[in-house]
Every structure is written in C-alpha cells, then in structure tokens.
A = this chain, B = another copy of it.
C-alpha cells in the first residue's frame, strides 16, 4: 500500500489553485481528509494509521498527538462527513428558495446523481456495518447523523405539504440507503437504477393523499 496520494480533486471539490505547497492546510485537517478518503476506499479496517499518516504527509506520532487513537480519528472523520452532508440541505434551500417541493425533488435528483458518481455508498452506513461492536464510539456519531438526516428530510417533506411527512421521509431513507448498498452489491445496473423513479413515485403517491 504505497502512498499514491495524488489529489484527484482537480475536477471537483477543493480547488487549490493557489498553493504550491500541498501542506498549507494544517496537519490535522490533512489527516482527517486523507483518512476519510482512505477509509472510503479500503474500508475502516482495511487501512492502517501508518498508511494514513504517510498519505497525509506526516507521521504516526503527529497523528496520535492529534487524535489519541484510531477510533477517535474514525469518529472525527465521520463527523466531518456528516457535516458536509448537512451542507447539502443548505445548498438546496439556496437553490430553490420558497419552493419546498422543488427542494425535495432536488434532493432526489442530487442523490440520484451521487449514486452514479460515488459507488462507495454512504460512509456512515458502511461504517455502521463494518463496526459491529455496538459500543464503538463511532456508533453514536452515526446514529446522530442518521437522525439528523431523517429530520431534515421530514422537515422538507412537511414543508412540501406532505401530511404523512415522517412516513414519506422514512420511505425515502430506505430507498436511498437501499440504493446505495445495492449499488455496491449489485453494481450500477442493479436495482439502484430504479432509485429516482421509485422516489418520484412515492413522493407523488404521498402528495396525492395530502390536500395540497
């Protein structure tokens, strides 16, 4: 497992056009970012702190001064990811102000596109599956994230005038998680391709029941 740490984000994400040094960003951030990426690629158990430190262009000791244990790093990594996911709703709100239904549709659209571009599925859900031990501190992070996601979805549904917002939100959660895991297990031509249509159908079905 050599370094091979080239940032593939020249196309999207962090644009660092000004920095010649890749390490202008503080080590802590570099470590978390690198860790997240490697966790996603190889699984949490599949990558070691050694490789993370090396890929982050630092050393194990610095890593341990910042995090104390791999478990802490895992948690921090998951926390960051969940923050980034939160930002997504703000984007939608900005993109479709005063149009909750469009926000909901936008969510489906966005998630649907992610299914193609991010075949690794949901990092948080994957972590939950990989970390069987229910006492692992990551589970708290995961659970909180899941609740937040659902709440935001519920809010979006409610704003969109859906009466049974909770039910719809739950259903959409199931479809999303299902599509993500199905993407990993069955490939891109499996049931996950049905995600968008299923969402739209379900939303339509719930909207019908609700007096708009």
Chain A interface residues toward B at CB < 8 A: 2-5, 7, 9-14, 38, 41-48, 50-51, 54-55, 69-71, 74, 120-121, 124-126, 128-133, 135-138, 142-143, 146-147, 150, 167, 169-171, 173-182, 184-187, 190-195, 197-198, 201-202, 205
Contact = CB atoms under 8 A, between A and B. Distances in A.
Contacts of A135: 12-14
A129 B184 contact: yes
A132 to B, nearest CB: 5
Contacts of A198: 167, 170-171, 174, 202
* Copy total for this chain: 4
A197 B209 CA distance: 15
B173 A176 contact: no
B133 A130 contact: no
Contact of A175 (B12, B150, B178): B178
A193 to B, nearest CB: 7
Contacts of A192: 174
* Of A38, A42, A174, A182, most B-chain CB atoms within 10 Å: A174
Given A3-B55, A41-B132, A174-B174, A146 B186 contact: yes
Nearest to A15: B69
Contacts of A147: 186, 190
A32 to B, nearest CB: 17
Contact of A182 (B46, B173, B195): B173
A33 to B, nearest CB: 15
B185 A10 contact: no
A5 B146 CA distance: 28
A130 B179 contact: no
